[in-house]
Structure 1
Amino acid sequence: MKVASVIVDVPSRQTDRPFDYAIPERWQGVIQPGMRVTVPFGARRLQGFVVEVKDHSDIKQLKPIEHVLDVVPVLNEELLDLGRYLTETTLCFAISAYQAMLPAAMRAKYEKTLRLTDERNREALPDDLKPLFVHQMEVAWKDIEAASLWRAAQKAVQQGVLEAVYEVKEKAGKKTVKHARLAVPDKQANDALAALPSRQKDVLSFLLEKGEAVPVAELQAALGVSSAPLKALVDKGLVVLNDVEVYRDPYEHRTFQPSEPPALTPAQEAALAKIAASVRAGEHRTFLLYGVTGSGKTEVYMQAIDEVLRQGKEAIVLVPEISLTPQMVERFKGRFGPKVAVLHSGLSIGEKYDEWRKIHRKEVQLVVGARSAVFAPFENLGMIIIDEEHETSYKQEEMPRYHARDVAIYRARRHSCPVVLGSATPTLE
């Protein structure tokens, strides 16, 4: 039997350690360290992170894992190790360290409901509660509280008439767009055209011409049709509708002008040469790029990143939140195009989640963001840059109280890559 050691979502000293759970037969060989799971913890159901998979446990009676929330690990081996480093150096709880590395959308949402233990127990319910359970076996706890019936509910639970059920739900929601495509071969669709009304004929001809799935909104706009002819074609089995997952792109309505690297000044050349030599040698060094505002530090960053990307590696650029202006984003997007993900507080929860997934799926090679972007789930880091490194915003004020500079240096040491600290007024240390 395989056993998973899980850090559960209870940030307290008593629970700040891994708890062992049995891995059910159907998930043997599937569950890996870094995955999120749902586990029973007392009367509750909690989210947790698997930190180890082993062959045995000292505990005799193990509860089984109830659900697996991920197909692949959301935290790789390096980030799990980084979490241990944060717990030791910032004295935070392990769960706080791991949650800090993920977008808010991936943190669990807990919902409590009250369920009848048996259909026949309806009559045994206190009179105040009976109306809520007339047509259902389960009622949300918030509805009980809204009706100020929690005392009656507590009594019913103690009598065994009701039981409390805890559910773990993800805040994350993937954005989907409905697409239409042919459900039959082209020849069959062509043969069906003659017998169709004009509007349906237009829709089917449009899909035949495109030869691929088309967003429903795009189809309706192009043909000026309602949803009725489309629905009729679906009913006839000629067209099928699918929900296709799309990213929320905060910059989809903006175009970025591609830019070419300008010639560098001798001072910029000298700085770039040292950084690029460290990148090519694959050695961990920490550089201070010292220069007053407007002296061209950003261009040195960009040409150093160019070198990193040519090596097939990835880069992280941290800038203070206040500096993440549209102009800054434009410079990086203009130079590196779709290779860039941007993470900052101006994005919605859904947009941050989608930018994080682009990084996790290795669809981008460069992240530009504020403090928490230092945890970007890259596996082949070639450089980390911290602009305006003297800024106090790189220090997190709540648990885990990390400094992005220290995390960057720790990660860079593991990846044998340079860290570049840029500033006009460097910190004393």
Structure 2
Amino acid sequence: MAKEKIVLAYSGGLDTSVILKWLKETYDAEIIAFTADIGQKDELDGLEAKALATGASKVYIDDLRDEFAKDFIYPMFQSGALYEGQYLLGTSIARPLIAKRMVDIARAEGATAIAHGATGKGNDQIRFELTAAALAPDIKVIAPWRSEEFRNQFPGRAEMIAYAEKHNIPVQASAAKPYSMDRNLLHISFESGMLEDPWFDASAEENKGMYVLSVSPEDAPDQAEYIELTFEQGNCTAINGERLSPLGVMEKLNELGGKHGIGRVDMVENRFVGMKSRGVYETPGGTILFTAHRKMESITMDREVMHLRDGLISKYSQLVYNGFWFAPERLALQALVQESQKNVTGVVRLKLYKGNVIGAGVKSPVSLYNPNIATMEADPTQAYDQGDATGFIRLNALRLKVSSAVQSE
């Protein structure tokens, strides 16, 4: 009989390298290694040869950057999603795409299971598995870190390194940094190790070497740089007049943001599994795009539509963070978001300076801002009679007066 096939989300690091070999031995299965290119750059170098040398029967390294930008980052940014007021969801939004492609490969290869190297304490296990449940409930998911057998065999990093050496698995454990990193087109995250102490200052001069995508604001140019972002129906389509794909926009904004020290966030967040965790994030391009998009909305989006959408930001952000990208409620919210964006068209001018994104102008052919109505001078349109405000205020004050009278009695 043909061996069972398992598709493994493979990064080439110590954990997934050990897991690849462990799965092959434990399940006596063919392991198909899958790596999604979502903007990791040189982290992908040599992965195919390494996976094959470790025991994979086949390796997929798929360039998903265009799909990631167009179908995941852009729709999420239209929603204004911001988890707990700070996090632009860089890791969260990548996981459903990776899991979706794993399911596609499993179908194509006739695999009965997919596997991942996420730990039992984190959010990623949930994101991978909820996506699989939504798209392929018949495919089994293997999570080695939740297996007692696996944890008994590998209680710590030393045992994993020894296992890798025994099986001639090439790992760079000696060069490992005292924190974990996860990079993609939208951001890079840093967690664990020294960062587990929330009093540790990740922005200190001696920790400059940790950052990858941006210079520190102190080292950014002393001269501000102006840029213009063109939007069409809520999506950025050009920078400084040059038309770009969503991928091109993200790459260009990352370059500009990194140059000016933009997009660093250090926060303690609430994981879905119940614990708090500290993360440091670099999101240079995303921070610029988020700010520009909000400014574009300010003159093009109807007040009540904006307030309705804004009231759903927290819910939308939670759905992305918790792994419900393919859930019906996220899809329903996305339909509302998409409708809200139909007139978000125009140009935003920004000034980039030492970690700051400063608004420097906004214009739109469908602007709802009318200077003749908003002016403090005489209104040539006579669209607004200041006297009308008297009755408006009186009606809105009525319930407050009644409540005050009752309290006084």
* TM superposition score normalised by structure 1: 0.21
Q: Tell which has more relative contact order, 1 or 2 (C-alpha 8 A, sep 6+).
A: 2
Higher Cα Rg: structure 1 or 2? 1
